[in-house]
Structure 1
Amino acid sequence: MSWINKIFGTNKVEEIPTRKIDYIQITKDWNADPVSPEIELKVDEIDLIMDIYLNHFQFDKYQEGDKVKIRFKNCAEYSLNTCNDEGFYHGQYRIKPSKLEWGEFYEIKSGLDRKLPNPIKIIQNDNSDRKHFIFFFKDKTFECLASDYYLDFYNEKVLKNCKTYKVVLGDKEIGTSKLEKADAPMGVAFGLIEFNGIETPYEFFKEYCLKNNIVLNNDDRKLEFIDTQVILELKVFRQDGLEIKGVAGNAIMGMKDKGYEISILGISYPFYEEEFPHHVEHYGNMFKKE
């Protein structure tokens, strides 16, 4: 155990707080791969983005290659340190093992020192009004102070096989989408829009819908959230010019912090299977037995 002591020190009980930790466990129906989560971190302006593989061994709804992208909004600082489960259960972290279970993702509400362990990476100097997050991985422990988090589940094989489609509103090409998500049985394809020259998509779609008498299912100006009914002039084209049509039409839903998605509703078979074989295959793999 000498290597653990060298990294984390030898003091145990006297440095571990005894006050109760109030927390929310985020990993309830999903978790990181227990063997090889392969953590990837990158800073996107003032956000921190984490990519990890999901635990497809424990949760049947996930399969090999499924990942989650966790965006920590307005992140002030973070730490990805080398404390593993052995060090944690030997009392080498500042948390009693009885207070939090190893291997989970938590939001700490109170009861734990917000001073992160080394090495600390600082994105912003002001960390006031930030939430405290901890994620225990197989061989590492992650902590950060951020305003909030958002989850985006995806399969890297599916994403790799996605084409890029043009998104057009009226006579204007407003951006592109990979249509990286799907409800294959219902013939639905949807995905985030990468906008061309549109700085505030919420205002853009809100103004268009009001001008063209399109009903909004939901509208929240504070969050810049919008959920539209079908927009007839909203169209999606393949790079060769073929329009991807759904019998129920196309709609927009999203918010500023998570992005805006276009949904194509009711694409008929067999075209759906020909155009999106990766989505059909991914759905079929969910029901394969070992």
Structure 2
Amino acid sequence: MVGRLSFRHLNPDWNAEPNAPDVKLTVEGNTVQLTFLLNSWAYDARKAETGTLRFIGCSRWRWDSTNDHAWFAGRGLYSKQAPKWGEFYEVIGDSRPIGEDDWEVLSPDGPKSLQFLFYFRDDTIEVVAEDWSLARQMPGAG
């Protein structure tokens, strides 16, 4: 059961490429990284520039195939609650039970754990971690 939720918008001045973000997820220990193409049409990003969200102190994550069509039809995760599709949020107040069949569990959630949600065009990715950061990179830079 999802209780009363609020969503803190975390990407007001950047976003993923809306059509083909080419999302890649990697896990190293308790760090999860999402790498994707940045949106160069609506934000200050260059063509082919990537963003890497790094979640440290990650206890669990899930990659859901909910896309924009399902979300707008009211069938997607938080489709009736989240303010807008295609954004990155901290989710506050989620009380859904945690089933290991739904999540890739790395460790128990800690007292500093926060829940993050990113709606990409064809996927929804949730991460529970202590913190996050964004790094940007051009191809070939390094």
Whether TM-score is above 0.5 comes out as: yes
Residue of structure 2 in register with 1:53 after alignment: 37
CA shift digits 1:136-157 (9 cap, x unpaired): 0000000011011011111123
Task: Specify the alignment match of 2:85 in structure 1.
Answer: 102
Asked whether 1:41 is paired with 2:21, we answer no
Distance, in Å, in 2 between the alignment partners of 1:114 and 1:66 is 35
**What is the aligned partner in structure 1 of residue 65 from structure 2?**
82
Q: Distance in 2 between matches of 1:51 and 1:96?
A: 24
Structure 2 CA distance for aligned equivalents of residues 67 and 32 of structure 1: 9
Q: Which amino acid aligns with 1:101?
A: K
TM value normalised by structure 1:
0.45
Which string of whole-angstrom CA distances, capped at 9 and with x for unpartnered residues, describes residues 166-218 of structure 1?
xxxxxxxxxxxxxx4xxxxxxxxxxxxxxxxxxxxxxxxxxxxxxxxxxxxxx
Quote how far apart the aligned CAs of 1:20 are: 3.9
Shift of 1:98: 4.8
- Displaced runs of 4+ in structure 1, greater than 6 A? none
When you count helix as a share of all residues, which structure comes out higher?
Answer: 1
Using CA pairs below 8 Å that are at least 6 residues apart, which structure has the higher relative contact order?
2
Shift of residue 101, structure 1, vs aligned partner: 0.8
Structure number with bigger Rg: 1
Deviations 1:49-68 (A, max 9, x none): 11111001111x21111111
Alpha-carbon deviation of 1:73? 0.4
Deviation, 1:74, is 1.0
Counterpart residue number, 1:153: 136
Cα pair 1:127 1:145 within 8 Å, conserved: yes
Alignment-derived partner of residue 120 in structure 2: 137
Give the counterpart of 1:127 among 99, 105, 109. Answer: 109
1:136/1:115 CA distance change after superposition, 3 Å: farther
**Coordinate RMSD, CA, aligned:** 2.0
* Alignment gaps of 5+ in structure 2: none
Partner amino acid, structure 2, of 1:137: F
- Displacement after TM superposition at 1:131 (Å): 0.3
Instruction: Name which of 12, 23, 46 aligns with 1:28.
Output: 12
1:83 to 1:63, Cα distance in 2 relative to 1, 3 A: same
Q: Quickly say closer, same or farther: Cα 1:104–1:115, change in 2 above 3 A.
A: farther
Structure 1 distance, partners of 2:89, 2:7, is 7
SS at match of 2:69: helix
- The CA distance in 1 between the partners of 2:70 and 2:121, in whole Å, is 11
1:82 maps to amino acid: S
- TM-score when normalising by structure 2: 0.88
**2:55 counterpart of 1:72:** yes
Secondary structure in structure 1 of the residue aligned to 2:133: strand
Where structure 1 has 5 or more consecutive residues not aligned to the other structure, the ranges are 1-14, 160-179, 181-290
Query: Identity rate of aligned residues, in percent?
Result: 23
Alignment deviations for residues 97-149 of structure 1 (CA, whole Å, 9 cap, x no partner): 35421100001122x2354686421222x113210000000000000110110
CA–CA distance in structure 2, aligned partners of residues 39 and 122 of structure 1? 20
Q: What is the letter of the counterpart of residue 64 of structure 1?
A: K
Secondary structure of the corresponding residue to residue 87 of structure 1? helix
